[in-house]
Amino acid sequence: MKVLAASVEWSDQFANDPMLELLVDKIPTTSEMRFENKESMWVAYNDGYVEFYSHTGRDENQRGFGGAVYDITLVDGTKKSLRGPWSSRAGVVNAIFPDRPVVDVMITDDPEVFGRGYTFYSGHVTLDVAKQAAKLARVKLVKKDDGEVTWRIPKRRMVSK
């Protein structure tokens, strides 16, 4: 996956941290991802793109995504169905897989979406890809450790007149 362009959604009107917006050549499909499991977190890395689900397999915990079934392929080629997995966030993945850090981003492979600045997908990329994108967007990522390790773009300072 190649980063073609990057910008920042500053969220000036909100208390949200700024988010990287990425335009890439192609977002891999779930069928192209190969998942591994650790501590109920199912994670797949493919050329800088990262996909993950939280799923214990217990009946009382299979209501995520409205109980939808996600068919995934494991790193050994085995097929598995996750019924009702839950989404998660980069900080949780980073706690379980600290040697392969992940960054939450907004991502698209549609130049029109990137141009208009909305209707991105919520996505995740490796730290290396996020650093490349941050360089294109002329911002720096900083490590934030507030109980879980994440990377973020510091808020720009608003200057009042």
User: pLDDT over 70 for what percent of the chain?
Assistant: 96
Q: What mean pLDDT comes out for the span 133-139?
A: 95
CA dihedral 17→18→23→26, nearest 10 degrees, is -10
And the tokens for 70?
A: 């996600």
pLDDT at residue 161 above 50?
A: no
Q: Give Cβ neighbours of residue 7 (< 8 Å, ≥ 6 apart).
A: 20, 21, 114, 117, 137
Task: Say how far residue 86 (Cα) sits from the centre of its chain.
Answer: 14
pLDDT at residue 154 above 90?
A: no
And the tokens for 11?
A: 């969220």
Span 8-53, pLDDT tens digits: 999 888 878 899 999 999 999 999 999 999 999 999 999 999 999 9
Q: Are 88 and 65 in contact (CB under 8 A)?
A: no
Averaged pLDDT score across all residues of the chain: 91
Q: Cα(69)–Cα(95) distance, rounded to whole angstroms? A: 26
pLDDT at residue 159 above 50?
A: no
Span 57-71, pLDDT tens digits: 776 778 888 889 999
Q: With a threshold of 0.85, does the pTM exceed it?
A: yes
> Amino acid letter at 77?
G
